[in-house]
């Protein structure tokens, strides 16, 4: 029985060392992705915030309309705002809200 416990302890020690080596290799291979993934995570946080506070979108559009009244043309910002509004309404209806 004692010999079996020694064998298990040695095996556990080898496995723990192998896991540590794998963690180091994984950390080194992931390092170049750390910054881009952090930026993507921040972008998702911003999108979640905007989704939970839609008044900011309305305020931004209103501010844009107030600050640039002469630049809204048929093919410019007004056209994109109309498309965005229509898309938002369709998505809301499809979600059942």
Q: Mind listing the pLDDT tens digit for each residue in 12-40?
A: 999 999 999 999 999 999 999 999 999 99
66 Cα distance to chain centroid = 32
Q: Of 65, 59, 63, 58, nearest to 84 (Cα)?
A: 58
Count: domains in the chain: 2
Q: Of 55, 92, 62, 56, nearest to 77 (Cα)?
A: 62
| Domain shared by 48 and 58, yes or no | no
- For residue 1, the SS3 value is coil
| Domain shared by 77 and 37, yes or no | no
pLDDT the model gives residue 70: 61
| Domain shared by 94 and 49, yes or no | no
Domain that holds residue 36: 1-53
Token pair listed for 4: 């079996």
- pLDDT tens-digit map of 44-94: 998 888 888 888 788 877 777 777 756 545 556 677 778 888 888 888 888
Mean per-residue pLDDT for 4-8? 93
Token pair listed for 79: 């056209």
């Amino acid at each position: 029985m004692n010999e079996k416990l020694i064998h298990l302890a040695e095996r556990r020690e080898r496995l723990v060392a192998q896991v540590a080596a794998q963690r180091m290799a994984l950390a080194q291979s992931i390092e170049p992705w750390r910054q881009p993934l952090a930026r993507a995570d921040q972008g998702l946080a911003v999108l979640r915030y905007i989704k939970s506070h839609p008044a900011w979108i309305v305020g931004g559009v209103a501010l844009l309309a107030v600050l640039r009244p002469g630049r809204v043309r048929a093919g410019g910002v007004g056209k994109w705002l109309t498309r965005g509004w229509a898309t938002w309404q369709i998505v809301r209806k499809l979600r059942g809200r």
